[in-house]
Structure formats: C-alpha cells, structure tokens
Structure 1
Amino acid sequence: MLPGRGRSLSLWGVRTTWTTVGDGEFFCPGCGGDRNYARRTGRQRRTVLGVPLAARGTVGPVVHCASCEGEFGPEALDHPTTVRLSAMLRDAVHTVALAVLAAGGTSSRTVTATAAATVRSAGFEDCTEDQLTHLVEALSAESGRYLPEEAASGIDCPYSATLAIELHEALEPLAPHLAPAGRESLLLQGARIALADGPYNPAEREVLATAGAALHLCAADTARLLAAARTPS
C-alpha cells in the first residue's frame, strides 16, 4: 500500500440522516416479541473529513426496533403482533363454530354445548349456547343461509356464498402465520362440533371443505382430517 493511501481513503464517508415517518407496535423478528418501532426514511450525503457535501439520494424505508435497535424491511410489519394474532385466532374459531352451526342447525344441545365450549377455550370466556344460537338465527335471517330443519334432515342445501366469504375473511389472513399443525387443529375443532350429534351432513362437509381451503389445506389433507375426527382418540 502506498504511504498515506489508507489515510486518504478514510477521509471520505457517507452520512445518513434519518427521519421518522411513523411508529407503532410490531412483532420484532430480532427480539422475537412485541416491540415499539419507528418507520424511518433516510437521506445520504457524501462526507469529507466528516463534513457533509453532495447528496447521494434516499434510503429506506426501514423499520427500527426501539428495543434491540435492529433495522428491518417494511415487510416486518406484515407479521401480526402476538396480541393481534391471538385475537385473529379467537375470531377464527368463533367464525368456524358459527358456520358449522349454520350448516348443521342448533336443535341439538350436544352440538351447541360443544360449540360454546370450543369458543370459550379460544378466548371468548363468556360465550354461551344461547348467544351462539341467537347469532346463527340472526345470520340465517339476514342472508338466507341453511334452514336448521333442512340441514338436520341431511338435505343438500345450496351453499351460502356469504358464509363462504366470511370463512375466507376470517381464516385466510391467519393461515400464513400458523404452523401446519395449528391450521389442522383449527379445522378439527370445527369437525368435532359437526360430529357432536352424529355423522356429517352434506352442508357441514361443504362448510368444513371451505374452511380447509381458506386455511391453505389441500383437499386430500382436509378429507384426511375430517376422517380422523370421526375416530375416537
């Protein structure tokens, strides 16, 4: 190396000035938990002897963790916080339970009791059978879903598009954040509600197939899980 060459190169540098454009709470991939973040953009300038000179453009945006001070791409905000994930899972179980009840009817106390217990275990601690029954009746009246007496008799009723939309809205955003075992467990909970009063009727099978698709389970896996749910553990 020529004398003084390394020293002259060290005189040059780049300085980044950061500006916070948003903040909030996110699941930090560095910390592995819910943390506060600042969303920042930066402007870079070339420096000589520490003095900023010509602008070099912008950088970012980046997500800066207030705890570990790690910086991540904006996609880090796509992962829900643990609090949000718990709420999404709770809502998903509630939606699946209502969908199965709408398909199979609420005349069986065994079914409504199983559904209420499942929803309470998911986090709705005050859920009762009467609440679920009233919700199913209200939803059926609003959108013309399955009539309980038709579903209970095994008639293959036309599938409600509204019900399918609700299942997809509740389950699809959640699915990428659950391990395969978690997605399968959610479907199995719905299957056990349907089986509480006997074999699946056609409407219940259709609801559970829709739930499986929304959970990103292939048709073969959904069929396997519905069969497994019939087998006493």
Structure 2
Amino acid sequence: MRSARKSRERNLVLCGIRTSWNTIGDGEFFCEECGGDRNYRRRTGRRRFALLGVPLLPRGQAGPVVECAACHTHFGTEALAHPTTSRFSGMLRDAVHTVALAVLAAGGTSSRTAVDTAATAVRAAGYADCTSLQLVELVEALAADTGRFLPDVSSGGAALAIELHEALEPLSPHLAAAGRESILLQGARIALADGPYTPAEQEVLTTVGNALALRADDTARLLETARKVS
C-alpha cells in the first residue's frame, strides 16, 4: 500500500500540467476566503504538459482568474462584482440619504419632526455631520432642478425617481431581505413622523420598494406594519 502511494507521488512529480500565470491587472476586492477587503491580481495563464518539471506540450489557456494577494485563492472574475466593504458602506449611506430626501420632497419640509427624523436616519447611516437644515436646503435645491426633481402635480406627489433607482438598484443584490426591508421602513418612519402617509409619500415609498426588488405585496405589508406601529 505504501509502495503504491509512493509510486503515485513519484508520477505526479515526473509529469503533470503546469500553468504559467501572467498578471494583466490589479486592484482591491472583497475576498470571501479572507472575509474582508484585499488586494487582487487579475491573471491569465497558459497550461502546458510538463515532464520532469520541463514544460513541453501546450494544453490551452487558463483563466482569467482573480487571485487574492493575501491568501492566493483563485476566484472567477465575477468576484469583482461584489463591492468592497468600504464601497458597500458608501452605497448604503447614499441609499438612506436618497430615500430620506425623496420622502421629504414628497411630504414637504414644513414638519420639524419629519425633518429631524430624516436627519437622524441619515446620520446613523454614516453622514455624521448631516443636519436638518442641510436636508431642507437640499430638498429646496432639488425642487428647483427640473432635470432631477420630478413633480407629479396631478397626484400631489413628488419623487426623486431617477436618484432612487440609481442608488437602490445596484445595492439591493448585495442586501439580504431584512436589509432591504430596513431601508424601506426607515423611509416609512420619516413619512409617518408628522402623520399618516400622503398619496405622494405612498407613491415614493412604493418606488423605493420596487427599486429594492421587494414584491409589491411585501412593500404594502411593511408600510401597513409601520403605520400601525407609529
């Protein structure tokens, strides 16, 4: 038994497939093996049949792969689609900020309670220096920007529709259902801070749910739950 194992090990040393790697790019990514942000090398390779350690016959291309500079694990290039920890934090912060602005734009900024609730949510998301006054000024600036602020006078609503989709859709694939629901509920709490949902606020929150890839019935259920709790 031991002799057979030694023979196999000797054969593995005598011949096999070797890959010569070539680095074609680098950067930072989230390494699932390490569990954090790491530098990576994007690499392609050429396979060759080797005899006695000498590469001889070509056996095709290898890769491209993403190689972690720390643990040297190889991943498919789809690993680069996962945001780094710092990038993810920024995406989440921007998402909460955009939702807060959209809800305030829909419901108006005359309620100090609603504005303060929005400012608290934005600060908790990472904009530590955000103030209620800053949010009011942003809403007013957006209202004057007809290219971004999309009023619907007929329904009495107002929505930052473009910004909502741009901020939420790239984030939603990387959030568990509970995380996506949490963002919607934060918007609901802002809307309910000064009373029941207005039609415009309801419209904005429905847009938020859609951009977060929540089912329509789940969005309705969450908004109703928030209303009963408030």
TM-score with structure 1 length normalisation?
0.89
Matched position secondary structure for 2:217 = helix
Matched position secondary structure for 1:91 = helix
Distance 1:188 1:83, change over 3 A: same
Aligned residues: 222
Distance 1:220 1:45, change over 3 A: same
Displacement of 1:50 in angstroms is 1.6
Distance 1:106 1:51, change over 3 A: same
Displacement of 1:76 in angstroms is 0.7
Distance 1:8 1:180, change over 3 A: closer
The aligned residue for residue 45 of structure 2 is: 42
Structure 1 unaligned spans of 5+: none
Distance 1:8 1:169, change over 3 A: closer
Contact preservation (8 Å) 1:30, 1:68? yes
Whether 1:89 and 2:89 are equivalent positions in the alignment is no
Displacement of 1:54 in angstroms is 2.2
Counterpart selection for 2:71 from 61, 68, 72: 68
Matched position secondary structure for 1:188 = helix
- Determine the C-alpha separation between the residues in 1 that align with 2:158 and 2:117: 23
Whether 1:188 and 2:185 are equivalent positions in the alignment is yes
- Determine the C-alpha separation between the residues in 2 that align with 1:46 and 1:165: 54
Whether 1:175 and 2:178 are equivalent positions in the alignment is no
Contact preservation (8 Å) 2:48, 2:59? yes
The aligned residue for residue 3 of structure 2 is: none
Displacement of 1:10 in angstroms is 5.9
AA in 2 matched with 1:156: S
Distance 1:116 1:159, change over 3 A: closer
AA in 2 matched with 1:27: F
- Determine the C-alpha separation between the residues in 2 that align with 1:26 and 1:198: 44
Distance 1:35 1:8, change over 3 A: closer
Share of identical aligned residues, percent?
A: 68
Distance 1:46 1:72, change over 3 A: same
- Determine the C-alpha separation between the residues in 2 that align with 1:232 and 1:222: 16
The aligned residue for residue 214 of structure 1 is: 211
Contact preservation (8 Å) 1:102, 1:146? no
Distance 1:166 1:8, change over 3 A: closer
Once the two structures are superposed, residues 91-137 of structure 1 have per-residue CA deviations (whole angstroms, 9 ceiling, x without a partner) of: 00000000001111111111111111110111101111111111111
Contact preservation (8 Å) 2:43, 2:63? yes
The aligned residue for residue 105 of structure 1 is: 108
Displacement of 1:165 in angstroms is 1.7
- Determine the C-alpha separation between the residues in 2 that align with 1:49 and 1:39: 29
Matched position secondary structure for 2:48 = strand
Counterpart selection for 1:79 from 68, 82, 85: 82
Structure 2 unaligned spans of 5+: 1-6
The aligned residue for residue 156 of structure 2 is: 157
Contact preservation (8 Å) 1:102, 1:145? no
Whether 1:17 and 2:47 are equivalent positions in the alignment is no
Whether 1:124 and 2:127 are equivalent positions in the alignment is yes
Contact preservation (8 Å) 1:139, 1:145? no
Contact preservation (8 Å) 2:13, 2:53? no
CA RMSD of aligned residues (A): 2.1
TM-score with structure 2 length normalisation?
0.90
- Determine the C-alpha separation between the residues in 2 that align with 1:103 and 1:13: 66
Matched position secondary structure for 2:49 = strand
